[in-house]
């Protein structure tokens, strides 16, 4: 699957020029602290992108930093950043795109989807489990692709495509068999991109965000 994706429209040079951050490379890339120039840029980009419709989220810098810190310290976590300059006059590099994924088991995914031990036995919980089907059978290694975003001025340049293919390829090399993500039914661009990558909408509905469903790709 990954080989097929790489053969299609994939620009290896772009992915070579991306920054990969994991727990092991955190010190080299972010200077080991979340106050670095790069993290500040990432946090600002994150806040800006998730303010958009249909996400309408209002993140605080501190909470994004805490989220990153937590993921870097507790998970098998991979973050890819694509730097870029928006115009010739723009001397400073910006974060054009970012994406990240991390290891999840079934309970992690239920928690992400907003279910706890009470709600999972209710109607929506049963529906969610049915839609997920048997994706956790036979002990697969599953990654949750939690974030993907491109700053407005960098869109339609295949940044998200290249980062996604790069991330899937890295996850495959790290032994993952499946990748799960959640997107909004109204996020037309994101859905089109995920379909092109081979993801399938499982139709499993989030307990908190009713317009968001879970998608899966075997890699």
Q: Pick from 5, 42, 49, 167: which binds ligand COA (CB under 6 A)? A: 49
Cβ pair 29, 21 in contact under 8 A: yes
Out of 192, 200, 210, 218, the residue judged to bind ligand COA by CB under 6 A: 192
The helix (H) or strand (E) run that includes residue 43 is helix 37-50
Selected from 11, 61, 157, 172, the binder of ligand COA by CB under 6 A is: 157
Which of 101, 190, 207, 216 binds ligand COA (CB under 6 A)? It is 190
Residues 149/78, Cβ–Cβ less than 8 Å: no
- Closest approach, Cβ 121 to ligand COA, in A, equals 28
Q: Report the Cα 37 to chain-centroid distance in Å.
A: 22
Tokens of 107: 């309970």
- Rounded distance, CA 23 to CA 130, Å? 34
Site string for ligand COA, 167-186 (x = CB under 6 A): ----------------x---
d(CA 105, CA 211): 23
Judged by CB, which is closer to ligand COA: 108, or 201?
A: 201
Radius of gyration, alpha carbons of the chain? 17
How many residues at the interface with ligand COA, by CB under 6 A? Answer: 21
Q: Among residues 126 and 186, whose Cβ is nearest to ligand COA?
A: 186
Q: Does 149 bind ligand COA (CB under 6 A)?
A: yes
Nearer to ligand COA, 188 or 200 (CB): 188
Quick check: 150 binds ligand COA (CB under 6 A)?
A: yes
User: What pairing do the DSSP bridges indicate for beta strands 200-205 and 178-184?
Assistant: unpaired
Q: Which stretch binds ligand COA (CB under 6 A): 16-24, 40-48, 109-117, 151-159?
A: 151-159
- 187, 150 Cβ separation under 8 angstroms: no
CA distance 37 to 79: 16
Tell me the CA distances in angstroms from 192 to 31, 98, 184, one per residue in order: 36, 18, 12
Per CB under 6 A, the list member of 27, 189, 210, 218 interacting with ligand COA is 189
Provide the minimum distance between the beta carbon of 137 and ligand COA in the complex, in angstroms, as a whole number: 25
In the bound state, the residue with its beta carbon closest to ligand COA is 189
Candidates 23-31, 102-110, 115-123, 146-154 — which segment interacts with ligand COA by CB under 6 A?
A: 146-154
Contact 54, 211 (CB under 8 A): yes
* Sites of contact with ligand COA (CB under 6 A): 49, 52, 97, 148-150, 155-161, 183, 187-190, 192-193, 196
């Amino acid at each position: 699957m990954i080989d097929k994706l790489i053969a299609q429209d994939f620009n290896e040079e772009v992915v070579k020029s991306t920054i990969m951050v994991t727990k092991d490379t955190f010190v080299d890339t972010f200077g080991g602290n979340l106050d670095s120039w790069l993290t500040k840029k990432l946090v600002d980009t994150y806040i800006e992108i998730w303010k958009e419709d249909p996400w309408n989220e209002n993140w605080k810098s501190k909470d994004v930093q805490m989220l990153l810190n937590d993921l870097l310290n507790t998970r098998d976590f991979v973050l890819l950043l694509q730097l870029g300059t928006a115009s010739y006059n723009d001397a400073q590099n910006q974060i054009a795109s970012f994406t990240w994924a991390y290891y999840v088991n079934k309970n992690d995914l239920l928690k992400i989807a907003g279910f706890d031990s009470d709600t999972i036995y209710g109607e929506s919980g049963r529906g969610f489990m049915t839609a997920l089907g048997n994706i956790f059978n036979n002990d697969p290694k599953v990654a949750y692709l939690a974030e993907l975003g491109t700053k407005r001025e960098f869109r339609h340049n295949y940044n998200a495509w290249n980062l996604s293919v790069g991330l899937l390829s890295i996850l495959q090399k790290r032994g993952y068999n499946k990748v799960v993500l959640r997107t909004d039914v109204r996020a037309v661009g994101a859905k089109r991109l995920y379909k092109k990558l081979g993801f399938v909408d499982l139709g499993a509905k989030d307990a908190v965000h009713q317009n968001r469903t879970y998608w899966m790709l075997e890699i």
